[in-house]
Amino acid sequence: MKIANKHLTVSFKAKGAELTSIKKNGLEYLWQANPKFWGRHAPVLFPIVGKLVKDAMKYRGKTYEMTQHGFARDMEFELDTHTGDEAVFSLKSSTETHKKYPFDFLLSISYRLEGSGLRVTYTVENRGDQDMYFSIGGHPAFNCPLTADESRTDYWFEFNNAEQLTTHIIEGAHFTGETEEVAAPDGKIAIRKDLFDRDALVFKNLHADRVSLCSPQKKWLTFHFGEFPYLGLWSKNQESPFVCIEPWQGLADHELHNQQFDQKEGIVRLEENGQFSCGYLIEVHD
């Protein structure tokens, strides 16, 4: 299914409510899920971001098993709205989700075209009679390079604020508590071949609220993430011709976390009958 305007044509699939294509002037910006490298396009991360210690969490004396990034990305969503420039998908809690996650919820995902940009909005409703805890995030992957005459190492990330960048170290998919400074003169991170050798770069509470993907040819796109406290930058390995820009409300577990779900760093607490929304904008440049 598609939405389109005079600038962009955007496609999705119901499984995972996943974005599968962003095209402008015939050029594909979104990674096309080549399984040789990474077989996804832009999974939605819910109700966890990252990995739990022992792939399990504990809540009110019970243990629930859940794999990395949660279950939403692999479930069929309902298509609630489909117009020329907007598509809205939803996922409701069920007997199946209760096996992994004890809360009653409605997750809605809106994709809306705004000129040469795509706005993605996540809305979570607590439909239970107790506080609900969750994380949510995006994981869109972009072709890098975007043209055949370039390579990934020609590119760089450029933040709109030149600040000292510190990444939080991940080993075995969990945070170690260690940090490391990232070279970012003038807010620019060169996409060196070894940039992701220690997994994703993870930033917390940046002053910047947007980051652009650039090459000597042009600034290709700008990703507005200001509604999220955490940002991940990632690629699978040194040869993968894509990069992910990941806005998160939530984090993977620290390696020493006690598995208590309501004590996770970055976890969102939503009161009974409450509603939570956040979103990001992908701006594709001429």
For position 262, which CATH number holds? 2.70.98.10
0.85 surpassed by pTM:
yes
Q: What is the pLDDT of residue 162?
A: 93
Q: What is the pLDDT of residue 55?
A: 98
| Secondary structure of residue 83 in the 3-state scheme | coil
**Separation between Cα atoms, residue 165 and residue 184, nearest integer Å:** 7
Whether the ω angle into residue 47 lies within 30 degrees of 0, i.e. cis, is yes
Residue 262 phi/psi, 5-degree rounding, is -75, 0
Beta strand residue intervals within 216-274, DSSP E? 219-224, 230-234, 242-249, 268-270
What is the per-residue pLDDT across 139-197, written as a single tens digit (0 to 9) for each? 999 999 999 999 999 999 999 999 999 999 999 999 999 999 999 999 999 999 999 99
What is the per-residue pLDDT across 60-89, written as a single tens digit (0 to 9) for each? 999 999 999 999 999 999 999 999 999 999
List, in order, residues 6 or more apart from 35 with CB less than 8 Å away: none
What's the structural domain count of the chain?
A: 1
| Secondary structure of residue 262 in the 3-state scheme | helix
Tokens of 131: 């506080």
Tokens of 155: 């590119």
What is the extent of the structural domain holding 211?
2-284
**Separation between Cα atoms, residue 179 and residue 94, nearest integer Å:** 39
Nearest-CA neighbor of 271 among 63, 71, 125? 125
At position 223, the amino acid (one-letter code) is F
What is the per-residue pLDDT across 203-254, written as a single tens digit (0 to 9) for each? 999 999 999 999 999 999 999 999 999 999 999 999 999 999 999 999 999 9
**Separation between Cα atoms, residue 145 and residue 216, nearest integer Å:** 11
Rg of the chain over all Cα atoms, to the nearest angstrom: 18
Beta strand residue intervals within 127-237, DSSP E? 132-134, 136-138, 141-143, 156-159, 165-171, 174-182, 188-190, 201-204, 210-214, 219-224, 230-234
Count of CB atoms within 10 A of residue 247's CB? 27
**Separation between Cα atoms, residue 177 and residue 121, nearest integer Å:** 31
Task: Please check whether residue 285 is in contact with residue 220, taking contact to mean a CB–CB distance below 8 angstroms.
Answer: yes
Nearest-CA neighbor of 33 among 260, 242, 195, 190? 242
**Separation between Cα atoms, residue 7 and residue 72, nearest integer Å:** 30
Q: What is the pLDDT of residue 41?
A: 99
**Separation between Cα atoms, residue 248 and residue 234, nearest integer Å:** 13
